Structure 1
Amino acid sequence: MKTITFYVVALLCLVATKMNAQSFSDRAGDISNNIERITKRQKDSLKIEVDAVNLQLEKNEITAAEADARKKEYAEKRAKNIEDQVSVEEQKLADLVKDKVDGNIKDSTQKITIRWGGNRKNIKKDVLKYRRTTSQFVYAIGVNRALTDGKADDSYKWRSDFYEVGVSWNTRLAKNNNLLHAKYGLSLQYNNLRAADDKIFAVDGNKTILVDAGRNIDVARLRYVNLVVPAHLEFDFTKKKTEGDKTYFPTHKSFRVGLGGYAGVNVKEKQIVKYTNADGNDVKDKTKGDYNVSDFVYGVSAYVSYGEIGLYAKYDLQPIFANNDIDQNNLSLGIRFDFN
């Protein structure tokens, strides 16, 4: 009876641990899928609404001015829907990584040790241990620089920053070699540009320019958020591990180098201005809308890491502003975390 009870307990421990190990990737994957569905649903709805307005305009049922006003109204409504619904998912991501950091979500590579009557038995989770495809929560933070012809634009402060949150999957490409991996996933990239010299961002026709604010400005920040699909070829120098007659291939235990890029869409943009008014009160203005940020984003990226922490760089190949006379491209440098 003791032997049967032991194996029942062991089986329950394995199942419970498996559910705990899978919960992180499953929950992160669900959140990423929700964000993608929210964005696609709202953009599809906006397209239907804009097509209906264009049809009315062709039939002379409304004027061109009325058509533009309706399109703007629909675009603002859909952008607000995306922001509100995505914010809920962003909070879920933040809570998820907090649980991971606090140790509430266990690694899938641990051993279970069970004591029974002084006898010690180790049960190895061969099904979960060092799987060929693993999942990670990705978080990166750093500085942004707008480049014009390869040179930094002094119109923006060095305090311009970015951060990125997302989920990735890592697949070992060779069956019996741990060097090459395909790393792919879904991320939200938050990019901030901070205007210098008391300037603020303004829309001039279909262009975005910097204009004098007419007062002392504490902060004038343009934030634009991109939903992207990153893909990297990763070189993982973690050594294989042999236990008895079994060989395992751990990941994220040594130096890693990733080379690749990303592509996606812009999902929202807004300007945040902070200043002190004539009465001495602190004022914070938020203006949402279209600041001519490119709708589609694509670029190259790379990282050099040891374990779960590394240096990260990304460069947008498309200009920040779609219709400006001078193209500016965004360069981001920072620190990246891949919580395995």
Structure 2
Amino acid sequence: MKTHVLIVSLVFSLLLGLFTQAQETEKKQTKRDSIRAANMREKYPVQIDTVDGKVVKYIDGTPGAHDEIIRGSESAIAALEESHSLYVSDKKTQFKTMIERVNKSLEDNKITEEQADESKAKFAEDLAEIITQHRAKTDAEINLIKVNRTSAFYDYRLEDRATSTLEISTKKGISINIENNRQSQKYIKTTSGFTLGFGYNYMNGDDLGINDFSYPNNNYFSLGYQWKTTLDKNNNFRLLYGVEYQTQGTELNGNRFFSQGDETQITDIGFSTEKAKFRQDQLVFPLHLEFGGSERKEYEDGRVRFQEYDKWKFGIGGFAGFNMSSRLKLKYDLDGREIKETRINNFDNEVLLYGVDAYVGRGDLTFFGRMNFNNVFKSNSVDAQYVTFGIRIQ
């Protein structure tokens, strides 16, 4: 019994010692944390700001965090203010256009003077209400940014909404940001966008014409990116240039195909085929001079924009590029089995290509025709040049 009591006493003493030690360690840690926090407050004092008349504190004591948050949020606020200004300018310009229409109707005796005054008053009332509501929406978003920047939930991506620039300084080093303020530019001379084209093509030459090709399997496809630069103040003359990937597929009729080797010739396959299609993938750089209608629109804040929607246009120019690959796809039956073959880059084709291109259309849709000046194959091979026509969205 005495032995048991002694063991229990020793265990209890050990546990009490460990508990006391843990309490002392916790007290020391708490004291160290308090000292560290005091040092942080002394070194990085809590920043104070005012939002809607209320005093708020910035809880992040990281060096430079306050300045970074302020810089990001102010950039986002500036972007919102600029967006509101553009919105107001657009609405005022729209209001001006509507007033001009009312005056025109009045001059043409389509409405009375009383009706004209009522319409103008209604337009003005609606304009004031729309601008007021948009101002309230903008102010609410700005206040949200100010409130968020005082908490740990602040989203630094708000800074992405700000206008960026490119700065090179001998003192600050190099700061690279892509400029993204075209929306507020007074005059935009160059615009850009994608192009998409598809159509029909064939080869023309001394012994070749459109009737030598099967109609279903001769096709053209292109995908590119182009820039458009206005050449006059009313945007009636434009220069178009860019880069374009295109593929041209042709299939000879009568079970014939283009042979491989040092000299490419038209050869009879000798048996019936389901497919004998020759295709080339190319990269070209088109250049066009475009003529066409354009509506010049001047906004209340001085911005000038051009609208070509629903306007007729005509373009003429050319292209130059190079051939990236050539291939022949064969599909036929042999002893009851379906055979598919692909023969790649074993043709006597020219690498460089060039030609002329013209189009006419309305809005974004145009009908084009183009002709290659270069031979598809080299001089000792079959004489052939591409002729293509189709539809292009640009």
Does the CA-based 8 Å contact 2:349-2:376 persist in structure 1? Answer: yes
Aligned residue number for residue 360 of structure 2: 304
Give the Cα–Cα distance (whole angstroms) in 1 for the partners of residues 194 and 342 of structure 2. Answer: 30
One-letter amino acid of the structure 2 residue matched with residue 188 of structure 1: Y
Question: How far off its partner does 1:7 sit?
Answer: 9.5
Q: 1:156 aligned to 2:213?
A: yes
Residue number among 220, 223, 231 corresponding to 1:173 in the alignment: 231
Which whole-Å deviations, capped at 9, do the CAs of 1:217-266 have from their partners, x for residues lacking one? 11111111221110000113121113235432234552221110001111
Question: How far off its partner does 1:153 sit?
Answer: 4.6
Residue number among 324, 335, 340 corresponding to 1:267 in the alignment: 324
Count of aligned residue pairs for this structure pair:
235
One-letter amino acid of the structure 1 residue matched with residue 294 of structure 2: T
Aligned residue number for residue 350 of structure 2: 294
Question: How far off its partner does 1:278 sit?
Answer: 2.0
Question: How far off its partner does 1:8 sit?
Answer: 4.5
- Runs of 4+ off more than 3 Å: 5-10, 12-15, 115-118, 121-126
Does the CA-based 8 Å contact 1:234-1:259 persist in structure 2? Answer: yes
Give the Cα–Cα distance (whole angstroms) in 2 for the partners of residues 255 and 306 of structure 1. Answer: 4
Aligned residue number for residue 331 of structure 1: 387
Give the Cα–Cα distance (whole angstroms) in 2 for the partners of residues 208 and 326 of structure 1. Answer: 6
Give the Cα–Cα distance (whole angstroms) in 1 for the partners of residues 276 and 82 of structure 2. Answer: 53
Residue number among 227, 244, 248 corresponding to 1:187 in the alignment: 244
Question: How far off its partner does 1:285 sit?
Answer: 1.1
Question: How far off its partner does 1:282 sit?
Answer: 3.1
Question: How far off its partner does 1:301 sit?
Answer: 0.2
Does the CA-based 8 Å contact 2:264-2:382 persist in structure 1? Answer: no
Question: How far off its partner does 1:277 sit?
Answer: 2.9
Give the Cα–Cα distance (whole angstroms) in 2 for the partners of residues 117 and 233 of structure 1. Answer: 42
Aligned residue number for residue 135 of structure 1: 192
Residue number among 177, 182, 196 corresponding to 2:253 in the alignment: 196
Residue number among 134, 152, 158 corresponding to 1:120 in the alignment: 134
**Which structure shows the bigger proportion of residues in strand conformation?**
1
Does the CA-based 8 Å contact 2:359-2:366 persist in structure 1? Answer: yes
Call closer, same or farther: CA 1:125–1:327 in 2, change over 3 Å: closer
Give the Cα–Cα distance (whole angstroms) in 2 for the partners of residues 184 and 117 of structure 1. Answer: 40
One-letter amino acid of the structure 2 residue matched with residue 165 of structure 1: L
Does the CA-based 8 Å contact 2:220-2:246 persist in structure 1? Answer: yes
Give the Cα–Cα distance (whole angstroms) in 1 for the partners of residues 183 and 207 of structure 2. Answer: 50
Question: How far off its partner does 1:186 sit?
Answer: 0.6
One-letter amino acid of the structure 2 residue matched with residue 222 of structure 1: F
One-letter amino acid of the structure 2 residue matched with residue 317 of structure 1: F
Question: How far off its partner does 1:200 sit?
Answer: 2.4
One-letter amino acid of the structure 2 residue matched with residue 268 of structure 1: S
Does the CA-based 8 Å contact 2:246-2:284 persist in structure 1? Answer: yes
Give the Cα–Cα distance (whole angstroms) in 2 for the partners of residues 13 and 299 of structure 1. Answer: 50
Q: 1:226 aligned to 2:282?
A: yes
Question: How far off its partner does 1:212 sit?
Answer: 2.1
Give the Cα–Cα distance (whole angstroms) in 1 for the partners of residues 221 and 373 of structure 2. Answer: 18
Question: How far off its partner does 1:170 sit?
Answer: 0.5
Question: How far off its partner does 1:137 sit?
Answer: 0.6
Residue number among 11, 22, 27 corresponding to 2:79 in the alignment: 11
Question: How far off its partner does 1:312 sit?
Answer: 1.1
Call closer, same or farther: CA 1:218–1:287 in 2, change over 3 Å: same
Question: How far off its partner does 1:209 sit?
Answer: 1.5
Give the Cα–Cα distance (whole angstroms) in 2 for the partners of residues 136 and 128 of structure 1. Answer: 18
Q: 1:144 aligned to 2:201?
A: yes
Which whole-Å deviations, capped at 9, do the CAs of 1:102-147 have from their partners, x for residues lacking one? xxxxxxxxxxxxx999613599974368721111111110111211
Which whole-Å deviations, capped at 9, do the CAs of 1:266-292 have from their partners, x for residues lacking one? 11111111123322x433211112312
Aligned residue number for residue 243 of structure 1: 299
Give the Cα–Cα distance (whole angstroms) in 2 for the partners of residues 301 and 265 of structure 1. Answer: 16
Uncovered stretches (5+) of structure 2, i.e. residues with no partner: 1-50, 53-72, 84-128, 139-180
* Structure showing greater relative contact order (alpha-carbon pairs closer than 8 Å, 6 or more residues apart): 1
Call closer, same or farther: CA 1:129–1:292 in 2, change over 3 Å: farther
Give the Cα–Cα distance (whole angstroms) in 2 for the partners of residues 192 and 242 of structure 1. Answer: 46
CA RMSD of aligned residues (A): 3.3
Question: How far off its partner does 1:210 sit?
Answer: 2.2
Question: How far off its partner does 1:156 sit?
Answer: 2.0
One-letter amino acid of the structure 2 residue matched with residue 214 of structure 1: G
Does the CA-based 8 Å contact 1:146-1:330 persist in structure 2? Answer: yes
Q: 1:319 aligned to 2:387?
A: no
Residue number among 214, 219, 223 corresponding to 2:270 in the alignment: 214
Uncovered stretches (5+) of structure 1, i.e. residues with no partner: 16-114
Question: How far off its partner does 1:310 sit?
Answer: 1.1
Q: Percent identity?
A: 24
